[in-house]
A and B are shown apart, each in its own frame.
Chain A
Amino acid sequence: MYAQGLIGADAATTEDAAFLERFQARIDAEEKIEPNDPMPAGYRKTLIRQIGQHAHSEIVGMLPEGNWITRAPSLRRKAALLAKVQDEGGHGLYLYAAAETLGVTRDQMTEELLSGKAKYSSIFNYPTPTWADIGAIGWLVDGAAIMNQIPLCRCSYGPYARAMIRVCKEESFHQRQGYEIMMTLARGAPAQKDMAQDALNRWWWPSLVMFGPPDSDSVHGDQSMAWKIKRFTNDELRRKFINATVPQAEFIDLTVPDPDLRWNDDTQSYEHGPIDWDEFWRVVKGHGQMNRDRIAARRKAWEDGAWVRDAAVAHGEKRRTRHTAALAAE
């Protein structure tokens, strides 16, 4: 699931002009940068931060949806939701692996998540009080993630780009699955339709915010664009998402909760009402409804699981020692 305009990256770099020029020439020629290739420190740092945020978002994102696995309304939905949440975990795993190619470890990244140093998508700091939230997340949140991630399949960094190809295939399945949940609710009993509309009301604006701050405020966008880590601006992606999603809402007779939303014939695009960026920054900075709970849940899993991880290491060492001793005795 996931993705959000990168929060707080620092692309500052200190290489000499000739090095940067050679690197840029490779980027401009659409060559993929691979783990052992020379790269500017700022490029490496930006990618570690972005891939790490992306991986953390997958992992934290398991929590709001996992919240409904034991209460899913049918066995078919239960199985699909389990598989979806498992997919998110799988995305997290290979994104961590992609980040590791840049010289960080998964444990380091986990520590940074738990200490609050590393960010994850602010969308997961909203709660999932009803079953319709599972539909809305699949439809809107995964839908927004796809908009963000399809261009990342062409990202200049090879391991990230390749990971994104598989992630995007699975996300697009999730998006359709989420929309199908919403459609079933919207065409069901009045209580189900109300549940669907309520979920759309709560998830619409946080989904738009997933693309990150407006281009006018984006500090690091230009360098990321030049390095082809990012291929569209936040506002471009947001517009694409709105244009794709509004007709889908209309098709199932749900109302997008934006009284200012209107079609512009000249730009062939929707125009939306003002986004509450203060709220966005509040949530990013840790004051959303679920921020504390999400990190507390991750920390509990990590701390409660320490004895298991220690045991696996200890057992592995014992086996190696016994194996060596057996060989020596031969």
Chain B
Amino acid sequence: MTDQPAFLELLLRLGDDCLVLGHRLSEWCGHAPMLEEDLSMPNMALDLIGQARSIYTRAGEVEGKGRSEDDLAYLRADREYRNLLLVERPNGDFAHTMLRQFYYAAFMEPYWREAVASSDAALAGIAGKAVKEIGYHVRHAGEWVIRLGDGTEESARRMAVAVDALHPYTGELFAVDGVTDAMAAAGVAPDPSALRPEWDATIDTIFADAGLRRPEVAYPQLGGRQGCHGEEFGFLLAELQYMQRAYPAMTW
């Protein structure tokens, strides 16, 4: 790998997205609106945590300092996490959670599909597995967006509120910088901005059935990739890291 720092940065971004969204989904476990969702949300969380583990393991190898998946997941400071602001948004109601999942998955499905051809064999392998998993997330979350948008007056209202609340965070999915440029040029990972037309089309198809409108966002919310997280994120980390911080250097 010629551009090791950029590759490490890319892997941390991808790994942190998976970990944080998986963590958020897992907060629902045992509290879902119906038993079927108490099975499918942990299922999606498991996919994401599994992806995070593989990505962090690769990141540890690329970094070459002997850091494990757990070192990377648990032992960094708030500003060192590189996840999208979208995935750290609090669960809110079920409409928020499903829309957040749909927005992310509709982006990651084409991302992983292209990353299957990555010049990094390890990332290509991760992508091959992840693309199948994320395809299910798009379907599952997309169906809920339709059901809720085209359900009752109450569910349509909640879905519209979720769209207004979360749409400003979707711009960050497509943001480019030196890292994404270098990785796209090296054939390691797709250029996220190139995935926008497909994402827009996926959203529009589902929104048409859901009776929802894709809002124009004047000022997208950015900052996650630079480690500038929202206020709730510190609490997520406090919970996530509790054991590793309270009982350092032990085997679990």
- Contact of A75 with B39 in the complex, beta carbons under 8 Å: no
Q: Known contacts A75-B69, A315-B151; decide if A308 and B53 are in contact (CB<8 Å).
A: no
Given contacts A71-B240, A86-B29, 5 further A-B contacts (CB under 8 A): A73-B247, A75-B70, A85-B30, A86-B46, A305-B33
Identify whether the interface residues of B are mostly helix, strand, loop, or mixed: helix
A82 contacts B by Cβ under 8 Å? yes
Identify whether the interface residues of A are mostly helix, strand, loop, or mixed: helix
| In the complex, chain B residues 39-66 whose Cβ is within 8 Å of any chain A Cβ | 39, 42-43, 45-46, 49-50, 52-53, 56
CA A93 to CA B35, docked complex, whole Å: 7
A74 surroundings in chain B (CB, below 8 A): 70, 74, 244, 252
| In the complex, chain A residues 272-330 whose Cβ is within 8 Å of any chain B Cβ | 297, 300-301, 304-312, 314-315, 318
- Contact of A307 with B158 in the complex, beta carbons under 8 Å: yes
A70–chain B nearest beta-carbon distance, Å: 5
| In the complex, chain B residues 77-98 whose Cβ is within 8 Å of any chain A Cβ | 93-94
- Contact of B34 with A71 in the complex, beta carbons under 8 Å: no
A301: contacting residue among B19, B31, B73, B239, CB under 8 A: B31
Binds A, one of B116-124, B142-150, B166-174, B180-188: B142-150
Closest B residue by C-beta to A72? B243
B225 contacts A by Cβ under 8 Å? no
Q: Known contacts A70-B26, A310-B151; decide if A305 and B34 are in contact (CB<8 Å).
A: yes
CA A191 to CA B36, docked complex, whole Å: 39
- Contact of B46 with A79 in the complex, beta carbons under 8 Å: yes
- Contact of A85 with B154 in the complex, beta carbons under 8 Å: no
> What are 10 A-B contacts defined by CB distance under 8 Å?
A73-B252, A75-B52, A75-B56, A93-B35, A301-B33, A307-B154, A307-B155, A309-B33, A311-B148, A314-B151
A-B contact count (CB 8 A): 137
A40 contacts B by Cβ under 8 Å? no
B91–chain A nearest beta-carbon distance, Å: 11
Chain A interface residue count, Cβ-Cβ cutoff 8 angstroms: 46
B250 surroundings in chain A (CB, below 8 A): 73, 188-189, 191-192
CA A82 to CA B94, docked complex, whole Å: 19
- Contact of A318 with B150 in the complex, beta carbons under 8 Å: yes
- Contact of B43 with A86 in the complex, beta carbons under 8 Å: yes
A92 contacts B by Cβ under 8 Å? yes
CB-based closest 10 A-B pairs = A305-B33, A311-B151, A311-B155, A73-B243, A308-B33, A62-B30, A66-B30, A73-B252, A86-B42, A315-B147
Closest A residue by C-beta to B158? A307
CA A79 to CA B94, docked complex, whole Å: 22
B200 contacts A by Cβ under 8 Å? no
Closest A residue by C-beta to B154? A307
A2 contacts B by Cβ under 8 Å? no
